[in-house]
Structure 1
Amino acid sequence: MTHERWQRTVAYLNDLKDRFGGVDQVLLWAGYPNLGVDTRSNLDLMDSLPGGLHSAVDAFRQANPKLLIQLPYKPWDIATNGLGQHDPSRYADLMARAGADGLNLDTMDSLGPFVVPPSQSKPEMPVTEFFAAARQAGLQHAIIEPELGLYDGLFLLNTTAQGWLYTLAQCPPVVGCSERTPFAPLVSLQKWIARGSMPHVCGRWSTQRSQEILTAYFNAIGYAAWENIFGIWNGINPRDAELLKRAMLILRHFGHFLSDPGVAWLPFYPVQKLTSKGENVYVSKFVGSDRELFLIINTGLQTADAQDWMLQVPQSDHFRFYDLYRGDDVHLERVNTCLVKSCNERIHRAQTAQLHLSVEGGGIGAILKVRVGKMHPNDRDFLRRMGTATEKPLSSFADKVSLAKQTYHPGDGGAGTLSNTGGMVVVNGSAAFEFRVVGSEIEDTYRGGQNFVKLGVDVQFPWEDEAVKYHVAHNVSIKDLLVDKFPVTNEMFAAFLKETSYVPVAWSSLWT
């Protein structure tokens, strides 16, 4: 691994950390737009990464030793990879050689689709097959993650702990969410059944991410921060980035607690909604032996203040409450009422704590209930850090992303002359050539002839106002051209480099 590659990896991860709190897992995708250009399969393309796949994995490992790294499996790659024969063992070997942590099964759920040779009729369970092959290769804890989640394959939870969730946030998968609107969160069945599971809420086309982020936070699961959609840039806006950063600070700090099978989970814990502003506050409660954690979301557009909603919790003098989000104590009132059956036998000691705090519209909150004297020093430090991290309201951050404009910088007009025109042919120019072109991005932002999301896709030519994939025909003036009769081969390019001693500026990004 070169020092330059390591520096680029560090810079990339630092950018993600600065903008939205960083990532815990990456998927190395070496497919689009190169797959299909030649006879190389998706395995070949991963091995063709500069320095090899192991070098790419190693760059991330050195930049962040805790980072989990996945590789993609593309079952639809049948033109260069056959019908998938022996794929589980081949990919398990690739993971082992590269030092990767798992495999993402692109376009697949836990039961398929999985290309099966015509002679084979037995049912296929690819998650199980890839998991078994990984264990056979010595990878005892490989992450086998179907892109489309588990669905009817919940019985396969013993072989996978992840999965993408396009629909959990209720944003249309094809077009995503473009506006912030009030909603009631859904509960992840996978997380409900297996507390240690970590599915990811995903919405590639959403230009407003808060619905997905709030849903992930409510369920204490992951969020796929997908910005580069195979060449189409859909960046997370500053407000959503800050929301994600704050949500992940809390989820990461209490990660072991939230994934502990011994911790009970009570989604939709009862909330007293006192005014219309409190109608969209929802609470998800996690109960351990000596602490309780309340994850709070406000899916409404307005701030729900202390007078708009209230959380009532069974209470005794042996516990204290902390506002984790703001790093402070919680304002509470004690009343002599009983909320649980167990207190009926000791009604003289029954009390209820009525907790009041403000939650910004489209924002989050968190309350920690801990036994007196049992507050861990790390939690105290975390309170102080959160108090600093949440000083600015989310409303102070920009809620939109402006499309990046591209500018044209003309060259010298071809002032140079060719001394060797052998093997070249003349292409006659035109004073009024009708220029027509469409971008080659594999994904699209058009459905039914309509542009469903406004994103900067492809190229902005000098006569255009913004980058688009589908370019309107435009007349341009073109001089006569001299063009090589045949494509330049790798051998010819290697000879050119040797003869001229030319070194490309972006040498490390060239395919080898």
Structure 2
Amino acid sequence: MKLRTITIGILTMVLPAVLCAQQVTWLGAEKELIAGPASTDRRAQWLDTLQQWRTNEKKRLSYNGNEYSRKEFNWVQQTFMFAQVMAHDRFLYDTATRQYTVDRFLDDLEKRYGGLDGVLIWPTYPNIGIDNRNQFDLVADMPGGKAGIQQMIRAFHRRGVKVFFPIMIWDHGTRRISIPMAAALTGEMKELGADGLNGDTMNGVSEDFKDAYTRAGYPLVLQPEIHIGDLKMVEWNTMSWGYYWLKWGSPEFSYIPGVSVYKWLEPRHQVHVTDRWSVNKTDDLQYAFFNGVGYNTWENIWGIWNQLPDRYAFAIRRIRQIYRFFPTVWSSENWEPHILTEQPGVFASAFPGNNVTVYTLVNRDSVVKQGAQLALPFGAGDRYYDVWNGRQLKATVKDGKAYLDFSIEKNGFGAVALVKNNATLPGLSAFLGVMCQQAKTPLAGLSGISLPLQQRQTLIPATKKYQQPPEGMVRIPGTDQYHFESAGVMIEGNELPEAIGVQYPWESHPQRVHRHGMKLPAFYMDVYPVTNRQYKQFVQATGYHPADDHHFLKDWQHGNYPDGWAEKPVTWVSIEDARAYATWAGKRLPHEWEWQYAAQGTDNRQYPWGQEADSLRIPVPDTTRERRPPTNVNAYPAGAGPFGVKDLTGNVWQWTDEYTDTHTRSAVLKGGSYYRPQTSYWYFPQTPKLTQHGKYLLVSPGMDRSGTVGFRCVADAE
């Protein structure tokens, strides 16, 4: 682990010269952690330096902790286990009943790791930017609209769980809003009844958000994703995430645990240690427990499942139970990190409360530590409990100290409660009984492996076999040797190569890049994507109207498309709406490889016309925030593929296959679209290349429909 030594004077820039001799050592590039003492004999000087640093920083910042004292924020210090949750998670919403299933979602987490205290509901990235719907639109598009979201939040509140939504501070390329983002988001949270905001990519949530909630009379807990760049912001950023990284995306933890800067500056500040891509959670959980802070149990990462392995889930259960039984000690202003221990490799912190002090211990070594672990103050009437293992300890008293013997697993945890003056702790016996029972299962005996969820491709039933091309279709000849190759353009996920992406029928797990040789029989494909004119014929013939009709044919009015739109590709149709049309027409949606083969033939070309991009063969990209309508499907005949299929790329995305696992549904989109929102790297990535695809998360037809997604059909041939 590389350490960086920076004087307090450099950090604060304005401290008096006499203080520049005092040094603290920072861990990692983001300066969220202060390095622990290099040795036990330097511990007193180290602690004195930390205490002076805190005093001087608060003076320099003219720090006040008024926000932490608000009664509306009493719950902040006790929000220990937190999770980012995709709005698309199938445990949270049931498409069959069209109902939020909060109890099902929470029951699963309680069964696996003991439950949550807070959730961050995430309806935006990675889908945001597929059209010009902004972050507010995507929240409103969640199933049931705002009334449904309000009901969902009330269901979380009934279970004692606080609810956050994200700030997409970078969302300046989609539909404009008329008021400042801080005011708009505060108003939205007040309307929904939410409790807090998470600042995606923010180095501290800026003060305009505090000002906005103050004006609105609706206090919100502000929680930045990234480190808090200016410590003054700790005043109103009452929560934060702990990305304990040496450099961005590269977690490295010191053997000697670091001290949370924000927790040390303001003990009432709640940190949730976060590392979404890691499978081994030992470092994350040990650093959290050592500092008496929370943890982000994030598992559904943009539709990529990284389930907590049993070992760490069980550790989280036990940590949370200790946190919740002693709920107030963790925010003590007198907490003390790196108290002296008796075993090398074991590190401890003390959290004093009324009549009880709790000591958290972590074993950073890969061997069991046995024997005396702590030498604590001894007083008549004091009692000592090994609360990690659920038993009372008999102290060996020597020289006025109580020496406590107990074991700590390799890379494990320990916790001791010192109960003073014969104080009574209601419920202690029952709590110890639970912990004792759980201690019978060693963490090391549980699996530390996280396996990817298996995905199932949604069946596409065959059509009747046509002898001649149906009207508007062209024959795609069969081939015995098609080399199919397609790669997803998702922005993130390479850390979990066997979980990112989708799982094709011949694959053993989801992945980003797919290669497969296959034999394809002949079939027919629509020359053009289905147009507004054609879709209107279907609606008139069948009376089709979906049960979830939010945004259905959004651009139409009174059952008709705008003048001049007859030959534009129909959009604002879900994959279910597209399938309904295809069935009526005696056709079906294409598999991705059928779509791609029809577009490129057998020479593995990158574009329908050849290997090189050509902006004259596709519609001009739209980079505005208003988003114009799609182009007529017949406007660029020079963009045709080798078999005469046209309007394949650069106009609208096109539905192909759907994939489902236990938690997520997604669809493979082909062809890219004309819409290219600007100002951020994080918008839904575009690709006109035939050998690439987009992965679009699905939740409900109303939210899935988009102004840049259409479809074309295929039919089977004799």
1:398 equivalent in structure 2: 447
Contact 2:306-2:452 within 8 A present in 1 as well: no
1:208 aligns to what SS in structure 2?
A: coil
* Residue 56 of structure 1: how far off its partner (Å): 2.4
1:38 equivalent in structure 2: 131
Equivalent of residue 215 in structure 2, options 104, 122, 136: 136
Contact 1:311-1:354 within 8 A present in 2 as well: yes
* TM-score calculated relative to the size of structure 2: 0.59
Contact 2:186-2:212 within 8 A present in 1 as well: yes
Residue identity opposite 1:37 in structure 2 = I
Residue identity opposite 2:148 in structure 1 = S
Please say if 1:193 is aligned against 2:265. Answer: yes
* Residue 473 of structure 1: how far off its partner (Å): 5.6
2:529 equivalent in structure 1: 486
* Residue 14 of structure 1: how far off its partner (Å): 1.2
1:174 equivalent in structure 2: 249
Structure 1 residues 460 and 285, CA, compared in 2 at 3 Å: closer, same or farther? same
Between the aligned partners of 1:455 and 1:68, the Cα distance in structure 2 is: 33
* Residue 500 of structure 1: how far off its partner (Å): 4.8
Contact 1:190-1:197 within 8 A present in 2 as well: yes
Between the aligned partners of 2:122 and 2:534, the Cα distance in structure 1 is: 27
Comparing 227-236 with 93-102, greater Cα deviation is found at 227-236
* Residue 252 of structure 1: how far off its partner (Å): 2.2
Between the aligned partners of 1:490 and 1:246, the Cα distance in structure 2 is: 61
2:138 aligns to what SS in structure 1?
A: helix
2:223 equivalent in structure 1: 145
Contact 2:473-2:526 within 8 A present in 1 as well: yes
CA deviation vs aligned residue, 1:199-256 (integer Å, no higher than 9, x gap): 1111011111111011111111111111122122221111111111111111122222
Structure 1 residues 184 and 499, CA, compared in 2 at 3 Å: closer, same or farther? same
CA deviation vs aligned residue, 1:45-72 (integer Å, no higher than 9, x gap): 1111011145224324224432111111
1:426 aligns to what SS in structure 2?
A: strand
1:150 aligns to what SS in structure 2?
A: coil
Contact 1:207-1:236 within 8 A present in 2 as well: yes
Equivalent of residue 295 in structure 1, options 360, 365, 384: 360
Structure 1 residues 57 and 238, CA, compared in 2 at 3 Å: closer, same or farther? farther
Contact 1:195-1:260 within 8 A present in 2 as well: yes
Summarize the alignment of residues 5-16 of structure 1 with structure 2, pairs less than 5 Å apart. 8-16=101-109
Structure 1 residues 369 and 243, CA, compared in 2 at 3 Å: closer, same or farther? same
Instruction: Indicate the structure (1 or 2) with the bigger Cα radius of gyration.
Output: 2
* Residue 194 of structure 1: how far off its partner (Å): 1.1
* Residue 414 of structure 1: how far off its partner (Å): 3.1
1:495 equivalent in structure 2: 539
Summarize the alignment of residues 224-263 of structure 1 with structure 2, pairs less than 5 Å apart. 224-261=296-333
Comparing 297-306 with 453-462, greater Cα deviation is found at 453-462
Equivalent of residue 73 in structure 1, options 167, 171, 178: 167
CA deviation vs aligned residue, 1:165-212 (integer Å, no higher than 9, x gap): 111xx57652558xxx98221111111111111111110111111110
* Residue 427 of structure 1: how far off its partner (Å): 5.2
Equivalent of residue 24 in structure 1, options 99, 114, 117: 117
Q: Which has the higher contact order (CA 8 A, sep 6+)?
A: 2
Where do 5+ consecutive residues of structure 1 fail to align?
A: 111-125, 274-278, 338-350, 446-451
CA deviation vs aligned residue, 1:56-93 (integer Å, no higher than 9, x gap): 24324224432111111112222114599611111111
* TM-score calculated relative to the size of structure 1: 0.81
Summarize the alignment of residues 44-63 of structure 1 with structure 2, pairs less than 5 Å apart. 44-63=137-156
* Residue 34 of structure 1: how far off its partner (Å): 2.3
* Residue 378 of structure 1: how far off its partner (Å): 2.6
Between the aligned partners of 1:379 and 1:487, the Cα distance in structure 2 is: 68
2:231 equivalent in structure 1: 154
2:283 equivalent in structure 1: 211
Between the aligned partners of 1:352 and 1:235, the Cα distance in structure 2 is: 44
What is the total number of aligned residue pairs between the two structures?
460
Please say if 1:103 is aligned against 2:178. Answer: no
Identity over the aligned pairs, expressed in percent?
A: 25
Contact 2:412-2:443 within 8 A present in 1 as well: yes
Between the aligned partners of 2:541 and 2:144, the Cα distance in structure 1 is: 19
2:474 equivalent in structure 1: 426
Between the aligned partners of 1:67 and 1:419, the Cα distance in structure 2 is: 60
Residue identity opposite 1:384 in structure 2 = G
Between the aligned partners of 2:476 and 2:119, the Cα distance in structure 1 is: 49
Please say if 1:358 is aligned against 2:407. Answer: yes
1:258 aligns to what SS in structure 2?
A: helix
Contact 2:153-2:193 within 8 A present in 1 as well: no
2:440 aligns to what SS in structure 1?
A: coil
2:432 aligns to what SS in structure 1?
A: helix
1:270 equivalent in structure 2: 340
* Residue 359 of structure 1: how far off its partner (Å): 0.9
Contact 1:430-1:478 within 8 A present in 2 as well: yes
